[in-house]
Structure 1
Amino acid sequence: MITTTTWQHTFTNYQNINNINPTGHQHLKIFQPLATKRIRLQLNNLYDEIPLQISKLEIYIDPQDKKTVTLDGNIDFQVEARLIEWSDWIDFDIPENSFLNIDISSPNQTIHSVGMTISNNLIETDLTDTAIPKYFFGVSGIQINTAQTYKKIAFFGDSLTNQGNFSAPLSKDLEKDFQIMTANYGIAGNRLLRPGHSTSPWSDSFGEAGFTRFDHMLADYQPNIVIFMEGINDLLHPGTGSPITELPTAKAIVTAIRILKEKCRQHDAKFVPMTITPAEGNSNDNIAGWNYEKESLRQAINSELRQLPHVIDLANLTSENNQLKPEFDCGDHVHFSVTGGKIIAQYIKDQLIRKKMV
């Protein structure tokens, strides 16, 4: 049998969030595209300084048929600080294209190793409002036993990827229609060239520079295709929490992206870059995040990206007069709306089919 990752979502260091688990219980539903008879969960405590105590962890499709997840044979266990561990394998029948329910009981109320989503397409929490970020802890990946290998796509980027408004519906379509497994390696606030360094209370969660964490993704996930979209935060953050001196040149961004493309080639993975979408009109704490210089940089970067093979020109799809078209704008002039995300997902899917990647 072959071990196959059917769901993976990047956790980051939300040091500014306290009492994420006030009730001591968390319920998740996570889409599972493949049928299986054995499953295990990735248990994530990577950014906390104390163990994550798990008093009970159960999975089920039917509430009348729950399975207890164990670690080293123990029902009540802990995930040590700064570690990621895999649970024991559990014998469990899961039908294809189903939602796996996960119930976690933990006495830890403040947990900083956390994932985030806005979309409900792949991950459902007790919150269902599509305008509200949903934070979850404990489980960051799912693996199953399969009889064959499956192609894998990694979505790598910042909040535009992490929130899931385009990546989650696209993932679900790719998994259901083509049996291609996907993973979300987006981190909100992430920059390509620099780690989190800001006066923002969210600075710790911005993560290490995309340029260096890209290597971890390639080694850990070993994707066949990487759909890449980063660079907008390298332009947005300087002057709005980060020093304006950190504003990069267009050459620096393009050079870094070309290096990532070469790294993908060395790992026998296709690199699919996407152009940087607009951010005119965005502000942070009433400070304008965009100006003429930043727009000129975006245009220069995109001009170079359009010369790369396999590029998907998302900027051209979503832009009008250097601004997000209303149907794509969630309201902050940077992030995608639910409706816009679905349009983008279909566009990328059509492009991947046209490029004969799926």
Structure 2
Amino acid sequence: MIETTTWKHNFTNYDNLENINKTGHQHLEIFQPLAGHKIRLQLNNLYDESPLKIDHLEIYNNSTDKKAVTFNQQTSFEIEPRLLEWSDWIDLEMNGNSFLSIDIASPNETIHTLGLTISNTLIKTEDTTPQAAKYFFGVSAIQVQTEQEYKRIAFFGDSLTNQGNYSGPLAYDLETKFGCMTANYGLSGNRILHPGHSTSQWSTSFGEAGFTRFDHMIADFQPNIVIFMEGVNDLLHPGTGSPISELPNAYALIKAVFSLKKKCKKHDITFVPMTITPPKGNINGGVDGWSEQKETIRLTVNHELLKMPHIIDVANLVGTNGRLKPEFDCGDHVHFSATGGKLVAKFVEEQLIRKRMI
């Protein structure tokens, strides 16, 4: 049997958030594309200094078929600080293309090791308010046992990927229509060239530089295809919380993206980069985040990226005159709306088909 990851979502360190688990209970519903008989959960406590205590953890397709998830054969357990662990394999009859429910009871009120989603396409929390940030803890990946290999597609990027407004609908289609397994390696605030280094209260959650984080993704998920959308924060953050001296020139960004392509080639991975989308009009920390200098860098980088063999020109789809078009803009002039994200997902899917990658 083959251990197949059917869902994966990047966690990071939200050390500025307190009492995220006030009720002591969390309910999640996570889309599962594959039918199966055995399942296990990745339990994540990478960024906390105290154990994540689990009083009880249950998974089920319906409320009459609940199964207790165990760790080292215990139904009540702790995940030690700075660790990722896998639960024991659990016998569960799973239906393909359906949502799996997960209930976690934990006495930890403050948990900093968290995932974030806005889209409800692949993961639903108890709060399903559209365009609201939803944080969740404990489970960051799911594996099932299968008899065959499936193509693996990783979404790598910043908040445009992490929030799921484009990556969620696209992942859903790739899984249900084409039998691909996907993972979301988006990280809000992430930059290619610099780690989180800002006066922003969210600075720690921005994570390590995408250039080195990329290596962890390859080793962890071993994707066949990487869909890459990153670079806007490298331009947006300097001068709006990060030092303006960290504003890269176009050559540095171009070199970095081409280097990521070389890393993929070394591992026989197809690298699918996106052009950098425009954020003109964004206010970041009370400061105008854009300038003519930054726009010139963005256009220069995109001009060179368009020479890459699998490039997808999302910037031209969503932007005009350096701004997001209204139908794509969630309102902050950087991030996609739910409607805009679906349009991007459809466009990218069409490009993947046309380029015969799926």
TM-score (norm 1): 1.00
User: Superposition pairs for residues 267-346 of structure 1, below 5 Å?
Assistant: 267-346=267-346
Letter in 2 for 1:284: N
Contact kept? 2:241, 2:285, Cα under 8 Å: no
- Match of residue 83 from structure 1: 83
For 1:112 and 1:319, how far apart are their aligned partners in 2? 35
Paired letter, 2:20: I
Letter in 2 for 1:107: P
Q: Give the whole-Å Cα distance in 2 for the aligned partners of 1:57 and 1:51.
A: 16
Partner of 1:136: 136
Q: Deviations over 1:221-278 (max 9, x none)?
A: 0000000011100000000000101000110001011110000001110000000000
Distance in 2 separating the partners of 1:182 and 1:239: 35
Could you list the runs of 4 or more consecutive aligned residues of structure 1 that deviate by over 2 angstroms after TM superposition? none
Q: What SS class does the counterpart of residue 311 from structure 1 fall into?
A: coil
Aligned AA (2:89): W
Matched, 1:55 2:55: yes
The answer to whether the 8 Å contact 2:237/2:289 transfers is yes
Gaps of at least 5 residues in structure 2 are none
Query: SS where residue 326 of structure 1 aligns?
Result: coil
Deviations 1:264-323 (A, max 9, x none): 001110000000000000011320000100000000000000000100000010011111
Corresponding residue number in structure 2 for 1:92? 92
Tell me how far apart the structure 1 counterparts of residues 256 and 286 of structure 2 sit (CA, whole Å): 31
In structure 1, the residue matched to 2:74 is 74
Asked if 1:161 is matched to 2:161, the reply is yes
Provide the rounded CA distance (Å) in 2 between the counterparts of 1:177 and 1:60: 24
1:244 matched to 2:244: yes
1:123-202 correspondence to structure 2 within 5 Å: 123-202=123-202
- How far, CA to CA, are the matches of 1:48 and 1:62 in structure 2? 32
AA at the equivalent of 1:301: V
Cα displacement string for residues 89-130 of structure 1 (whole angstroms, at most 9, x for unaligned residues): 001000100100000000000000000000000000011111
Q: TM-score, with normalisation over the residues of structure 2?
A: 1.00
Shift of 1:75: 0.3
Structure 1 residue identity aligned to 2:245 = T
What's the secondary structure of 1:171's corresponding residue? helix
Q: Report what 1:258 is aligned to.
A: 258
AA paired with 1:39?
Answer: I
**Aligned pairs, how many?**
358
Cα distance in 1 between the residues matched to 2:18 and 2:322: 38
* Structure 2 Cα separation of the partners of residues 236 and 129 of structure 1: 27
Of all paired residues, the percent bearing the same amino acid is 66
- 1:131 shift after superposition: 1.5
Distance of 1:287 and 1:221 partners within structure 2: 38
For residue 27 of structure 2, what is the aligned residue in structure 1?
Answer: 27
The match for 1:348 is 348
